[in-house]
A and B are shown apart, each in its own frame.
Chain A
Amino acid sequence: MDDIEATIIQNKHIVSNYYTLKLRLSGSMGRVLPGQFVMLKIPGNEVFLRRPFSVYAYSNNTLTLMYRVVGKGTEILSKCPKNERTLVLGPLGNAFRIRKTDKYIVVAGGIGIAGVHTLIKRLGKKASIFYGCTNKEELSLINDMLHLNPMVSTLDGSCGFEGNVIALLGSYIESTKGEDRQIFVCGPAGMARNLRKLIEKDRTPCQVLVEERMACGLGLCFGCVIKTIDEKEPYKRACKEGPVFDLWEILL
């Protein structure tokens, strides 16, 4: 892991407030595992701390991030031109742990797709993909995985199942009852909570990528904690012990 100088080679608007950012790194990040993230220095002086982003793709010193504009930093980022210089600290955090099983289920909501993108690439056809977003337009975020036949839901019903993705997942969970499964999830906190209710009875093995406000991304400040069932030490750092946690070990 290192703090690596990088140059923006593409900052592309996809749809509504979603963008992809391609960076050419001046050196190698080494091996990057699914679920890991980077701390990105937003160019300019207006943003004090760095921002965490999942590695959407990485190869040959080229890093791709997919981001959603939500506040000051991502707003500024969305306006950053090509050739702008920045810094990338990473790869950080613990990855998804893939164990041998019959069925892998990957569930993503909205920008959560960025967090599981490398995982989906790794699992390929072995994974059943569930993707939930607000409308048909946002489905362009998963254009590169249509060949994997993802099951989709839209909140406005403009494409696929109408409603949230956990409701859609419900019938699949029912139909694969008794099979050995492993679930991976990344999306809004409410999504993980609903998923938890859905699989509470069977306690299906499930890992979740959580998002917390971070200052350092390195485990230095204890700012990014998430509450867990560990009574002795309930607060675990999302950047250090996470961002991937066992769903059954955290309190959502």
Chain B
Amino acid sequence: MGNLTVEFFEKTLRNPVMNASGTLGYGKEIEPLWGIETLGTYVTKGLSAKPHHGNPTPRVWEERNGMINSIGLQNIGVERFFDEYFPYFKKRKTPVIVNFFGFTEEEYLACAAKVKPDPFIVALEINLSCPNIKKGGISFGKEPGAVFEIVKHVKSVTKLPLIAKLTPEVRNIAEIAQAAHEGGADGLTLINTMPAAVVDVKSRNIPIKGGLSGPILKPIALRAVYECSKAVPIPIIGAGGIMNTEDAISFFMAGARAIQIGTATFVDPYAIPKIIRGIDEYLDAHGCSGIGDIVGIARDQ
């Protein structure tokens, strides 16, 4: 057995593998299959200051090599999460990254302010893909100036490290990464889903517009990790289409210091524990002392 532990914001995580936000429910749902303490850290479903009902169905649609979702960020609200679920993570000694969002800046700030620092909270992860309803629906994360502002303002209401989760739907993602860094982001998660739609030829309509995830995203995510990890010195968490150990390793080699696994869990509910084991075996087989030995090695070639 190698050494999978990683240092993240002055915390030691068991391993560099997390679930991607919104793909492991509130955490407990996976327990019939494997223990939540398998994860390096659990990333919460996107939480908001007030509960959200989300969108009507259909909410999921299959694509070749991927899926489209329009869950609409249904969640019980940040307060209920901390009342009802957080104690369970503490009991299981599993740290948490709190993914959160808002549709106005006030909502982002209100939510971030409600999360009190705790030894079991690794960081906040700000979802920057939400449409800004005050600015006519343009996404918070698409414009460097807006990213800088929101990150800076959130930093002023929390003592927790802040990870900015970026949307790939931008012209120059490295520029956005830089803006987040300058705003005070302590890390980045790359990437969120890509806007997409399907046409149902039988019924001649567009049954779903939403975010595309799964293997089809992988090359886009790898490019983002590669470019942003060159552009900013803060740790990067890679996400997007990681289905197996080889995919995971490729993200580390592109410059990610940790990874998140989302859609793969729907295809194979054991994908996360399998990938953790696979990374361990890979490091052993290649005589690595830890994941640090391979982070960025393909990028720096």
| Cβ of A44 under 8 Å from chain B | no
Q: Is the CB of A221 within 8 A of B69?
A: yes
Of the candidate stretches B58-66, B88-96, B188-196, B228-236, the one touching chain A is: B58-66
Within 8 A of A (CB), among B19-69: 22-25, 29-30, 32-33, 45, 51, 53-54, 56-67, 69
| Cβ of A159 under 8 Å from chain B | no
Q: Could you tell me the distance in whole angstroms from the C-beta of A99 to the nearest C-beta in chain B? A: 26
A89 to B271, CA, bound (A): 13
Choose among A50, A223, A232, A233 the residue that contacts B69 (Cβ–Cβ < 8 A): A223
Contact with B along A217-252 (1 / 0, CB 8 A): 011111111110000111100001000000000000
Nearest to A1 among chain B residues (CB) is: B32
Q: Is the CB of B76 within 8 A of A3?
A: no
- For the residues of B in contact with A, the DSSP-based class is loop
| Cβ of A179 under 8 Å from chain B | no
Q: Could you tell me the distance in whole angstroms from the C-beta of A16 to the nearest C-beta in chain B? A: 18
A222 to B219, CA, bound (A): 26
Q: Is the CB of A215 within 8 A of B24?
A: no
Choose among B22, B29, B59, B66 the residue that contacts A219 (Cβ–Cβ < 8 A): B29
Q: Is the CB of A222 within 8 A of B269?
A: no
Q: Is the CB of A240 within 8 A of B29?
A: yes
Q: Is the CB of B60 within 8 A of A221?
A: yes
Q: Is the CB of A222 within 8 A of B54?
A: yes
Q: For B60, what are the chain A residues with a Cβ–Cβ distance below 8 Å?
A: 49, 213-215, 221, 223-224
A212 to B57, CA, bound (A): 8
Q: Is the CB of B67 within 8 A of A218?
A: no
Choose among A49, A220, A225, A227 the residue that contacts B67 (Cβ–Cβ < 8 A): A49
Assuming the contacts A221-B23, A222-B59, A223-B71, asked whether A48 and B267 have C-beta atoms less than 8 A apart, the reply is yes
A235 to B56, CA, bound (A): 8
Q: Is the CB of B57 within 8 A of A48?
A: no
Assuming the contacts A48-B267, A49-B62, asked whether A222 and B25 have C-beta atoms less than 8 A apart, the reply is yes
Q: For A218, what are the chain B residues with a Cβ–Cβ distance below 8 Å?
A: 25, 29-30, 32-33, 269
Q: For B266, what are the chain A residues with a Cβ–Cβ distance below 8 Å?
A: 49-50, 215-216, 220-221
Assuming the contacts A215-B67, A225-B74, A240-B29, asked whether A3 and B57 have C-beta atoms less than 8 A apart, the reply is no
Q: For A240, what are the chain B residues with a Cβ–Cβ distance below 8 Å?
A: 29
Q: How large is the interface on A (under 10, 10 to 19, 20 to 34, 35 or more residues)?
A: 20 to 34
Q: For A233, what are the chain B residues with a Cβ–Cβ distance below 8 Å?
A: 51, 53, 76
Interface centre among A218, A224, A226, by most B CB within 10 Å?
A: A218
Q: For B214, what are the chain A residues with a Cβ–Cβ distance below 8 Å?
A: 48
Choose among A1, A226, A235 the residue that contacts B74 (Cβ–Cβ < 8 A): A235
Q: For A3, what are the chain B residues with a Cβ–Cβ distance below 8 Å?
A: 33, 268-270
A49 to B60, CA, bound (A): 10
Q: Could you tell me the distance in whole angstroms from the C-beta of B110 to the nearest C-beta in chain A? A: 20
| Cβ of B265 under 8 Å from chain A | yes
Q: Is the CB of A225 within 8 A of B57?
A: yes
A240 to B74, CA, bound (A): 15
A36 to B69, CA, bound (A): 25
A215 to B269, CA, bound (A): 11
Q: Is the CB of A220 within 8 A of B23?
A: yes
Q: For B51, what are the chain A residues with a Cβ–Cβ distance below 8 Å?
A: 232-233
Q: For A225, what are the chain B residues with a Cβ–Cβ distance below 8 Å?
A: 54, 57, 59, 74
A-B contact pairs, 23 of them (CB 8 A): A3-B270, A46-B64, A48-B65, A48-B67, A48-B214, A49-B60, A49-B62, A49-B266, A89-B269, A215-B60, A215-B266, A218-B30, A218-B32, A221-B22, A221-B69, A222-B22, A222-B25, A222-B74, A224-B59, A225-B59, A225-B74, A233-B76, A234-B53
A residues near B, CB below 8 A?
A: 1-3, 46-50, 89, 212-216, 218-227, 232-235, 240
B residues near A, CB below 8 A?
A: 22-25, 29-30, 32-33, 45, 51, 53-54, 56-67, 69, 71, 74, 76, 214, 263, 265-270
Lowest 8 CB-CB distances: which A-B pairs, in order?
A: A223-B60, A219-B29, A216-B266, A215-B60, A223-B59, A220-B25, A215-B266, A1-B32
In the complex, given contacts A213-B57, A222-B22, what are 6 additional A-B residue pairs having Cβ atoms less than 8 angstroms apart?
A: A1-B32, A3-B270, A48-B64, A220-B265, A220-B266, A221-B266
